[in-house]
A and B are shown apart, each in its own frame.
Chain A
Amino acid sequence: MVYPFGLGLYYSFTSYWLQYPNRFRFVWFDNYVDLIGEPLFARALEFTLGFTLVAVVVQVGLGLAVALFLHARIPGRGAIRALMLLPLMMPPVITALMWKIMMASTNAGILNYLLSFLGVDPINWFGSTQGAIVSVLIIDTWGNLPFVALVLLGGLQALPTEPYEAARVDGAGPADILRYVTLPLLSPFIVLAVLFRTMDSLRIFDVIYATTLGGPNEATTNLQIMAYQYSFQWYQMGKGMAQAIVLLLLVVIVSYLLMRLWNRAAESTS
């Protein structure tokens, strides 16, 4: 595993183009410098970071709500919890295809049909730039909301009971208990969910590939899709690899910061 990676790192400093092997030269940082002047790179970087931010906020926020809901003793929660495992363990590309069928932009699409009862005009899901971004977000959320919800539900069920009794003795209401007892105690689990969702959102590929392929008008092109296009559609392995390394650095930096946050949260609650 180390050798392929080292080889890839080396490629990122070369003009490796699969169809023109005799143009192979060592070009130092040219591929990286070229990225700075490339408008698509700026947009892909922006989409990568923006999508990750929105996806994490939406999924962790909703996941927390679902976890709190399932933690309360509601009827049928065992069944809901078991059913939520199903989207979680689906192949992401299959999830994307399922939604692609439901998100047909024509009037035959079930989602547009159901939304019409709410007075929503037919949405051009994958055909418009905004629609495509929202579609990818919805599909990704369907597959990964259960992950956040089940991690946080596990956290809720492992919380000690004494702080709750103390808060109740002090006369705290449900909102105060959530704000001052539950959320601080749950913070290591929240950070863990944020860590995993951030890492996966930064490099989301399967869902975008199966639905929009980065389009329309490159609206859903993230760094991984861009690196894929450079290396496997135009066979410019050197440039593609440079983009992959930039993404890798981004992932390493963000994961390092989040892991530090996680350690701090775990220490402060234990």
Chain B
Amino acid sequence: MKFYFEEIKERGFEENLNSGILSCQGCGAPIAMRHVLRVLGKNTVFAVPACCWTIIDGNYPMHSLKVPLLHVAFETAAISAVGIKAGLEAKGFKDVNVVAWAGDGGTYDIGIQALSGAAERGDDIIYICYDNEAYMNTGIQRSGSTPYKAWTTTTPYTRPNPRPKKDIIQIMAAHRVPYIATISIAYLNDLIRKVEKAKNLKGKGLRFLLIYSPCPPGWRLPSSELTIKIARLAVQTNFFPLYEIEDGEKYTLNFIPDKKPLKEFIKLQGRFKHLKDEEIEEMEKDVQKNFERILNLHKLTHGNIENIPKGFYK
């Protein structure tokens, strides 16, 4: 076997991130960050609102990334990135990649106003949400991204999350931004390709990337080693399909897996341990319905599903 993830090899092994970060063992977020940085390179500035990465990047006076990072107020990820971009352009730096790097809380909930504004205005930033499906940094509280019936500290087993996960992708599609993509940290060639695409759409408007980022303590995984496995199962069970949307209307489904039963994904996570089989079956139906919807939208865009990789994907 050659180097497995060819896209990583092609872009080189230089890390734009220093070790010594304060993430929990097995955290999915820095895995995403490493490879995003690999694509974007040093000509990048990050705006990071209150989220796990506020801590991960290191306490004062330390800083992990080898690019500049501005810690910004919780609601302001998108608009702070806009400000950075505007400021840099005013100062003559034309091609800098400006990234808003936020968690799900700062994207789906408190940050959605700023995100919507930036998307609607067509601001030239890359917005990356690393989604661990709750307010993890403050201790695992429920967010708009928390899946149906999941346990969190504010939706305990006695009253698990009563609402389905907000479909932020449809919201962003409605803004008709030039590019939206869902990403799982298990599929790194796919991640790199999509970040590259987002990078190359500089000047066209807001590019939105949703990176599924498992959290071992927050999802109550039995061990920290399961992060990638869970990120992969999410895709293989169609719970988190991998797809892209261009200009809000052109859908491309990236991968049709050999579907695994949702139970495999659910039963591995303590935050779902209270679910009964009937409830999982109901969830399975919703998952399939959503997948079919995306599949149909792909057909609408491309005419057929022939060119979608099936069974095996990187």
Partners in one complex: no
B residues adjacent to A (C-beta < 8 A): none
A residues adjacent to B (C-beta < 8 A): none
